[in-house]
Amino acid sequence: MAWSTTCPSLRFRAASSVIRDAQNTCRQKLDMLPEECLPHGMLVQRKYMKEKHWIYAILMAAMETLPLTYKECTRVDILNAVLAKAYLGASSKLLDNLNDEIHTVQEALDSLENYLCALTCGEYQRKGSSPVLMAESSACEMASWIYQSLNHDAPAFKLYLKDCTTLVEGQISSLEHKSTEWPSLADYVDYIAEKSIGDVWIDIDLCQFDDLNEDLLLLKKSNEYIFKSSLVYDDVQDIYEDIQTRSVNSALIRALEREIISEEDLDTKEPAELVRLLERGGVLEDIIWLADAFFLKGISAFMEMETSSVDKEGLLSSFRLVRLFNLRKLLMRNKDTKTLKRVLQSFSDFHSLREQIPEGIGALVG
């Protein structure tokens, strides 16, 4: 935030005020979840979600919403958009945790249908009184807050409804592969990467506008690639957890395709041993390049924008923050010069980063 204070929309006093107010309001809402939901404290206590999930979501939301809306929207509208994005981030993370770690595949599929209803209709089915089912209701309740806060007459609302469906379909595709065969890396890029919340995330901001011009649609496209890069960066950062839960992960797909590991290895070898094989085979490096390719495609689309109605410098700062945020765990795990240089490239002009990506990896993104 301090690095971004030169941007007109991200002056420290204004940005920190919006973030502080959003945190206070979000905490109050979470503390008042209906009785059929699992209370916020219990969600954290049972480790279904972490408090940092919504706190981080507010920070990331404010850093993008302010540059996009500060000229066109009131402070109340800006705060509502930041909160809606925080509810999206927290609810999707909560449901992901339940589906990855607790639910059967069929239970997870049912939960996603329920979640989609909450996102697109503001209503959902309350299923039972067990902690897990009440936690699912908590995720759906947060999703219903998003629907209730949006302007349904805005042109972008139709995009929101469509993108919510695409988001859930991507989650379903990931679950179906989890229970059957592994997809190819190309299929992962084309279909499963749609489970990123990026399109719905930006739609919440676009619902604040009375019309959608070409530049706003270009921003939406760039944001889509930036968030897909987040999904792929997460595959590297969450590799241990994804091995344990047998979740679809692009690094594991790459390793299987290159025959560095076998499906039998996934059942018989310890996560630490598998990760060592991936590291020795350069697989994790490949997946970081893939994430960078997504990220740079988003930046290229963004640089084509010509509008003066948004703070382009502020938006670029928010995208840099996304990459920086996504590489934080990697730096904490690998405290070496190579990883530090990779992180610091978030502040560069990206030319050297683009030249480093292997041609075959870049071709997957197009």
Per-residue pLDDT tens digits for 5-15: 889 999 998 89
Which pTM was predicted?
0.91
pLDDT category at 192 given cuts 50, 70, 90 is low
- Total number of residues shown for the chain: 366
- Residue ranges in the chain assigned as alpha helix (H): 12-30, 40-45, 51-69, 75-101, 105-121, 131-149, 156-179, 185-190, 198-206, 214-237, 239-245, 250-257, 263-268, 271-280, 283-303, 312-326, 328-333, 337-344, 351-356, 359-365
The residue among 89, 63, 85, 71 whose CA lies nearest residue 1 is: 63
Contacts of 216 (CB under 8 A, 6+ apart): 206, 209, 307
Q: Is the pLDDT of residue 182 over 90?
A: no
Side chain identity, residue 249: N
Give the per-residue pLDDT at 177.
Answer: 65
Mean of pLDDT values over 172-188: 77
- pLDDT tens for 113-159 read 999 999 999 999 998 899 999 999 999 999 999 999 999 999 999 99
Contact 54, 44 (CB under 8 A): no
Predicted confidence band of residue 178 (pLDDT cuts 50, 70, 90): low
- In this prediction, residue 19 carries a pLDDT of 96
SS (H, E, C) 223-279: HHHHHHHHHHHHHHHCHHHHHHHCCCCHHHHHHHHCCCCCHHHHHHCCHHHHHHHHH
Instruction: Determine whether 130 is exposed, middle or buried from the number of CB atoms within 10 Å of its CB (0-12, 13-18, 19+).
Output: exposed
Domain boundaries, the chain: 1-190, 213-366
pLDDT digits (tens, 9 = 90+) for 67-79: 999 998 999 999 9
Whether 10 and 314 have beta carbons less than 8 Å apart is answered as: yes
Arithmetic mean of pLDDT, 327-337:
85
- Which of 11-25, 206-220, 335-349 is least confident? 335-349
**The predicted structure's pLDDT at residue 45:** 96
Whether residue 30 has pLDDT greater than 80: yes
The confidence score (pLDDT) of residue 180 equals 64
Spatial CA neighbour of 325 closest among 244, 240, 226, 248? 226
- Would you place residue 347 in the very low, low, confident or very high pLDDT band (cuts 50, 70, 90)? confident
Cα distances (Å, whole numbers) of residue 9 to 69, 92, 99, 136: 9, 28, 38, 36
- What is the mean pLDDT of the segment spanning 59-74? 94
The span from the CA of 31 to the CA of 237, in Å, is 30
What percentage of the chain has pLDDT greater than the value 70?
A: 98
Q: Given this model, what pLDDT does residue 338 score?
A: 86
Residue range 182-208: average pLDDT? 86
Quick one: pLDDT at residue 248? 83
Closest CA to 66 of 348, 356, 364, 317: 317
For residue 302, pLDDT beyond 90: yes
How confident is the model at residue 109, as a pLDDT? 93
Please report the pLDDT score of residue 179 as a whole number.
55
- Other CB atoms within 10 Å distance of the CB of residue 202: 27
pLDDT for 219: 94
The pLDDT score that the predictor gives to residue 128 is 86
Sign of torsion over alpha carbons 355, 357, 363, 365: negative
Report the distance separating Cα 151 and Cα 202, nearest Å. 14
> Given this model, what pLDDT does residue 64 score?
94
Q: What six digits make up the tokens of 88?
A: 């999206």
Q: What is the pLDDT of residue 229?
A: 93
- Which among 123-132, 176-185, 342-351 has the top mean pLDDT? 123-132
pLDDT band at 2 (very low <50, low <70, confident <90, very high): confident
DSSP 192: G
Q: Check pLDDT > 90 for residue 81.
A: yes
Q: What is the pLDDT of residues 273-297, one digit of tens each?
A: 999 999 999 999 999 999 999 999 9
Asked if 10 and 313 count as a contact pair (C-beta separation under 8 A), the reply is no
- Please report, to the nearest 10 degrees, the dihedral formed by the alpha carbons of residues 323, 324, 330, 333 taken in order: -170
